[in-house]
Structure 1
Amino acid sequence: MLNAIVRFSLRFRGIVIALAFALLGYGLYSLANAKYDVFPEFAPPLVMIQTEAPGLSPEQVELLVTTPVEIATNGVSGIASLRSGSIQGLSVVTVTFQSGTDLYRARQVVAERLATLAGQLPQGVKSPIMTPLTSSTSTVSGIGLTSERLSQMQLRTIADWTVRLRLLAVPGVANVIVFGGEVKQYQFQFIPERLIKYSLTGDDVLNAARRATGINGAGFIDTGNQRMVLQSEGQSLSPTQLADTVLVHENGANVTLGQVAHVI
């Protein structure tokens, strides 16, 4: 067999040389147009949809949230598989598309389908969102913040508003997940006996807290020469200020947040 190949190559050496040059040219062309990456993408294109449903049990999440999302996305063309998971307060639907599907176009179609769910989900359930695009390699690097002077809350604030934003600005970084530490927040711990005494509900306390921490536009004033923009400054930014927020005014006396709840 080997002798036959050698005889053929010597007899038709012009054809063999021409084929060799053609193969060399095709190799150079393929090398110049080859797609390469440090972490090649080997996973099929997929879209993950998350929906928060505070207060609902897994059965309620499955029936009232996950099923409508699945029905809305099931008609998208190019779907290879559709999986879902329902836990307390959270629904996760994973849509896997066939290999070669344009992922950006698929995400656009899925977003249009999810928009049709507006007003159909139970009250209190947040709108379904698609998670950002991530590589199949998932987490590439982990970074920890430590300090001997700063508290856990201060470190979490730095991680959320400084480190995370700078990492997202780095080319190739798709998502940065922050966990741990203490998230800065204000808490209202109700005193049920006080609420009953003043005939108030939890919604009354929450509405008063939202008004105290909200920012409202004050409009503007037009003069003959200019327009002056008005800025209101009355937002409560500390637990003490929130505790002094007036809930109701009856019989010449005020009932404040601090009287019906512990503000911390």
Structure 2
Amino acid sequence: MIGKLISFSLRNRMIVLLIAAGMFGWGLYSVTTSKVDAIPDLSENQVIVFTEWMGRSPQIIEDQVTYPLVTNLQGMPKVKYVRGVSMFGMSFIYIIFDDQTDIYWARARVLERLNYANRLLPEGAIPTLGPDGTGVGHILWYTLDAQGMDLGEQRAVQDWYVKFALQNVPGVSEIASFGGFQKQYQITIDPNKLTYFNLSVPQVMAAVRANNNESGGRKFEMSDIGYIIKTTGYLQSLEEIESIPIVTQNTIPVSVRDIATVQMTGESRLGIFDLNGEGEAVGGIVVMRYGENAEEVIRNVKTKMEEVAKGLPKGVKFNIVYDRSGLINESVNSVKTTLIEEMLVASAIVFLFLFHWRSALIIIIQLPLSIAIGFILLNAFGITSNIMSLTGIALSVGVIVDDAIVMVENAYRHLADAQLEEERHGE
């Protein structure tokens, strides 16, 4: 079989050259379109369901949130197993699907089940899907370098300006904010005053909730002009919260300021983010969407950061603390350097030992052609160009060189022996 293939190739050299040129061109196209990342994605094909019910113990979360969700999410098609984790105020459900399952089909099926499971959960516990990213999707970390700005203001800039802008970058699944303080209005109730006015905490909560609302009226026309009537009731300051009436006792309204203290503060934190031991910092994590090109997403995020930086407050700028593109570029450059070095060394050795430039040319052509075909196969099987796959290509270059040298030297020796035999017969 091999002999027939060699014989066919020798008789049809132009066809072989055209096929080789076509494969090389296809390989170059595969190199430019190959998805590049630093590390391979070995994580499981999973969908995460996150439920927050603050203030409840892990046992209550397990009994009233995690257990109902786990039992209802089991039995879906292409599901391998379902895991549940309960902690203080939070529940995580991990639905592991078969490796070949489309991730967005899986998320759609989970949403269908959640529509039914919602009725089994207590009021205030609303399950949501996690981002459509993988375990290696954290491709970029950044902080805000804002001298003279407190942590609450930095977190507000991150949550209400930077986060929304960067989430629009193609390939970005989520911008996860960290650090700082999330500002909130806090009402601290005095229990003695609450008892004095014969009130309860639910009454105070109901009064605040009812007064933080906006209701619409109707449209009427006057003098050929249409007017829309509505009431503006959203709370916008501490004074407005303090003035909210709770009940009326003896024609005198009891307001929030009579039984509580209202202040602007930060949400309770379970930890802090410290940068290089220099103090707390505020920033975000760029989570890449499933199946995207990490190098391209990072490049687009950096370009978007340059646009976003123009709208930041004076003195505020981005500080990138983790960037995977450096490792990606080093991996790609390593393969390029290895290829060029081995092509030059192998060609030089063949030329020095055989003094035959055509034999050296065969090796120079064979190496890039083999690597180009390798990238065709990587794209065909959906494998990214990462450290492991590129290292495999770099190692295989040595095998290809050895094989080329042995085959070329063997062919050269047989041709030389045949030529010597002809000369002997001619004499």
Per-residue CA deviations over 1:124-162 (Å, capped at 9, x if unaligned) read 3x2211112114423211111232332221111111011
Letter of the 1:256 counterpart: S
Q: What SS does the aligned partner of 1:219 have?
A: strand
Counterpart position of 2:231: 232
Are the equivalent residues in 2 in contact too, given 1:61–1:89 (CA < 8 A)? Answer: yes
Structure 1 residues 252 and 115: CA distance shift in structure 2, 3 A: same
- SS for the counterpart of 1:215 is coil
User: 1:84 maps to what in 2?
Assistant: 84
Q: Which amino acid aligns with 1:78?
A: K
Contact 1:62 1:86 in 2 (8 A): yes
Structure 2 counterpart of 1:211: 210
Q: 1:235 to 1:66 in 2, by over 3 A?
A: closer
More deviation, 14-23/77-86: 14-23
Aligned to 1:158: 157
Q: Counterpart in 1 of 2:59?
A: 59
1:67-109: per-residue Cα shift (whole Å, max 9, x none)? 2111221111111232221111111011111122111111111
Q: Is the 1:213–1:237 Cα contact (8 Å) retained in structure 2?
A: no
Aligned equivalents of 2:123 and 2:232: distance in 1? Answer: 33
- Secondary structure of the residue aligned to 1:62 is helix
Shift of residue 220 of structure 1? 2.5
Paired position in structure 2 for 1:134: 133
Tell me how far apart the structure 2 counterparts of residues 110 and 180 of structure 1 sit (CA, whole Å). 31
Distance 1:210 1:6, change over 3 A: same
1:260/1:20 CA distance change after superposition, 3 Å: same
Measured after TM superposition, the shift of residue 177 of structure 1 is: 0.8
Given that 1:247 and 1:257 are in contact with CA atoms closer than 8 Å, whether structure 2 keeps it comes out as yes
Instruction: Name the aligned partner's letter for residue 86 of structure 2.
Output: S
How do residues 38-57 of structure 1 correspond to structure 2 at under 5 angstroms?
38-39=36-37, 41-57=41-57
* Corresponding residue number in structure 1 for 2:180: 181
Query: As a proportion of its length, which structure holds more helix?
Result: 2
Q: Assess, with a 3 A threshold, how the Cα gap between structure 1 residues 205 and 8 changes in structure 2: closer, same or farther.
A: closer
Letter in 2 for 1:137: V
Across the aligned residues of Structure 1 and Structure 2, the Cα RMSD in angstroms comes to 2.9
Match of 1:9 in 2: 6
Take 1:24 and 1:231, find their aligned partners in 2: how far apart are those partners? 72
Aligned equivalents of 1:79 and 1:31: distance in 2? Answer: 38
Return the alpha-carbon distance in structure 1 between the equivalents of residues 26 and 8 of structure 2: 29
Deviates further, 214-223 or 251-260: 214-223
Q: Count residues in correspondence.
A: 260
Query: Which moved further from structure 2: 222-231 or 62-71?
Result: 222-231
Alignment of 1:183-202 (within 5 A): 183-202=182-201
Match of 1:144 in 2: 143
Conservation of the 8 A alpha-carbon contact between 1:52 and 1:89: yes
Percent identical among aligned pairs is 25
Shift of 1:50: 0.6
The residue aligned with 1:71 is 71
CA 1:94–1:30: 2 relative to 1, 3 Å: farther
Q: Give the Cα–Cα distance (whole angstroms) in 2 for the partners of residues 240 and 8 of structure 1.
A: 89
Q: Which of these residues, 14, 35, 38, is aligned with residue 37 of structure 1?
A: 35
Q: Which amino acid aligns with 1:66?
A: T
Secondary structure in structure 2 of the residue aligned to 1:37 = coil
CA 1:196/1:22 → structure 2, altered by over 3 Å: closer, same or farther?
Answer: same
- Residue deviations 1:19-42 (CA, integer Å, cap 9, x gap): 786677567657757862122654
Q: Secondary structure at the match of 2:51?
A: strand
Distance 1:222 1:105, change over 3 A: farther
| Structure 2 partner of 1:263 | 262
Amino acid in the other structure paired with 1:102: D
CA shift for structure 1 position 217: 2.1
Structure 1, 20-29 or 98-107: larger mean CA deviation: 20-29
Moved more, 212-221 or 99-108: 212-221
Could you say what secondary structure the match of 1:106 adopts? helix
* TM-score, normalisation: structure 1: 0.85
Please state which structure has a larger fraction of its residues in strand.
2
1:114 alignment counterpart: 114
Distance 2:159 2:257 in 1: 30
Question: Rg bigger for which structure?
Answer: 2
Moved more, 157-166 or 168-177: 168-177
Q: Distance in 1 between matches of 2:100 and 2:123?
A: 38
**Aligned match of 1:246:** 245
Match of 1:100?
Answer: 100
Distance 1:162 1:20, change over 3 A: same
Distance 1:119 1:147, change over 3 A: same
TM-score normalized with structure 2 length: 0.55
C-alpha separation in 1, matches of 2:41 and 2:251: 69
- Taking CA–CA contacts closer than 8 Å with sequence separation of 6 or more, which of the two structures ends up with the larger relative contact order? 2
Deviation at 1:221, TM superposition (A): 2.1
Q: Which moved more, 1:21-30 or 1:143-152?
A: 21-30
